[in-house]
Structure 1
């Protein structure tokens, strides 16, 4: 039985969905932990919604199912802050209990654990509940890197800045970023696809922009931003609007 003095929580980035994009270090961390926790979407009543998420599907390529523990998070809750935080607290209590019992727990998160990840909130809660716990993270491939590789879009050149915007903050934030210099990446824009398309048109950034969803999965979709319509897209859709590049090779060095 583990003690708080020897407890270790490791946030492991498992990439955007393609199991081949989990790093060797990530696989080793998943296999070394006593248990692997995966986040599960909450049903309306707050219980396990039953859906197998992207992180869980990826983890099961590398560890046996009996080592995986599903923990409910209100991942789809945007309007009820109280309900969302109650879910985080309950998840923290559950993971804290697992740490006390088993000593080492890995938490698998899509993308990278330090980029818009649920792991951030979990780690803060665990630090309060399990004094002396050791917290580590293992970086993962992000959706913007995978989309760039699959679409041929270049994220940055020379001195170009890179701006990452979660569209859950509102399309106005994205429009401000598109009006500035450099490449702009938008995460989680599926529900506001029509507003994103309008922002691209208004800032003249549609032509070279590309969006993708379900990267590395059978239902993968990668299209030019000119194809964006009024219909909502999958929530985890990613957009890349490359910097305006008028000069030749190395012109921005």
Structure 2
């Protein structure tokens, strides 16, 4: 029995790695996270380019729940029980597809922990995927880090606390899940005397990449912002 967390990248099926495509094509079942069982999530939309549709199964998670821990855990328990049941019955390999990378702010970690508790003998592996910050860096032509620069990744679903402190450093700061607070993010970046680049729906037909200073109002939950490090000359941070 084997459970593999597969990072499928930000949304463009062509950004899935060769290994990810192989696992998706050969796994006995490919589970995908959704908010509603009736909807096709972003991970599933990518998976459908690489796996037979009859092998895809949706697992409902409270993906945007930030307050009700018991509700989140009920979904984790139900999803884990379903995956463990399939593995127990089949003895085969199941994949769980997640956008980005399965080890970066991913639902897979919670699922894997639940399945391990139910099936201690299961083997759990992951296949890394391209992250949103990498996709935005490529789309905007923005080097993420150079030389000795630090990289700080902040999830801001609960607010912009910590952003001003991070911007006082000399490295690159990346903001995830800050769409609801986009104006505060932009104001904080401006107050720090820095500039950022904004991206949403990366890798999809609706992709949008703009200077952060041009953005107004709220944005999608999975919006990404890169605030590059200060660079005054080529190789200055070596």
Q: Could you say which TM-score interval applies, normalised by the shorter chain?
A: over 0.9
Q: Distance in 1 between matches of 2:159 and 2:166?
A: 12
**How far 1:170 moved relative to its partner?**
2.4
* Farther-moved stretch of structure 1 (192-201 vs 131-140): 192-201
Is 1:221 equivalent to 2:215 in the alignment?
Answer: no
Match of 1:3 in 2: none
Q: Distance in 1 between matches of 2:81 and 2:162?
A: 35
Is 1:178 equivalent to 2:167 in the alignment?
Answer: yes
Is 1:234 equivalent to 2:220 in the alignment?
Answer: yes
Is 1:97 equivalent to 2:91 in the alignment?
Answer: no
Contact 2:30 2:95 in 1 (8 A): yes
Match of 1:243 in 2: 229
Q: Distance in 2 between matches of 1:9 and 1:174?
A: 36
Q: Distance in 2 between matches of 1:181 and 1:194?
A: 23
Which sections of structure 1, spanning at least 5 residues, go unmatched? 1-6, 43-47
Q: Distance in 2 between matches of 1:70 and 1:251?
A: 48
Match of 2:11 in 1: 17
Map 1:184-199; keep pairs closer than 5 Å. Answer: 184-199=173-188
Match of 1:156 in 2: 145
Match of 2:117 in 1: 128
RMSD: 1.0
Aligned equivalent of 2:105, options 113, 116, 131? 116
Q: Distance in 2 between matches of 1:150 and 1:137?
A: 26
Tell me the matched-pair count. Answer: 237
Which SS does the other structure have where 2:33 is aligned? strand
Q: Distance in 1 between matches of 2:159 and 2:194?
A: 18
Q: Distance in 2 between matches of 1:187 and 1:82?
A: 24
Instruction: Tell me which stretches of 4 or more aligned residues in structure 1 moved more than 4 Å.
Output: none
**How far 1:177 moved relative to its partner?**
1.0
Q: Distance in 1 between matches of 2:51 and 2:24?
A: 7
| Residue deviations 1:115-174 (CA, integer Å, cap 9, x gap) | 000000111111100121000000000010010001011100100000011012420122
Q: Distance in 1 between matches of 2:119 and 2:88?
A: 8
Match of 2:199 in 1: 212
**How far 1:228 moved relative to its partner?**
2.1
Which sections of structure 2, spanning at least 5 residues, go unmatched? none
Is 1:51 equivalent to 2:39 in the alignment?
Answer: yes
Is 1:28 equivalent to 2:22 in the alignment?
Answer: yes
**How far 1:31 moved relative to its partner?**
1.5
| Residue deviations 1:8-50 (CA, integer Å, cap 9, x gap) | 00000000001100000001111121000000104xxxxx2x2
Q: Distance in 2 between matches of 1:228 and 1:100?
A: 49
Which SS does the other structure have where 1:70 is aligned? strand
Contact 2:159 2:178 in 1 (8 A): no
Which SS does the other structure have where 2:157 is aligned? helix
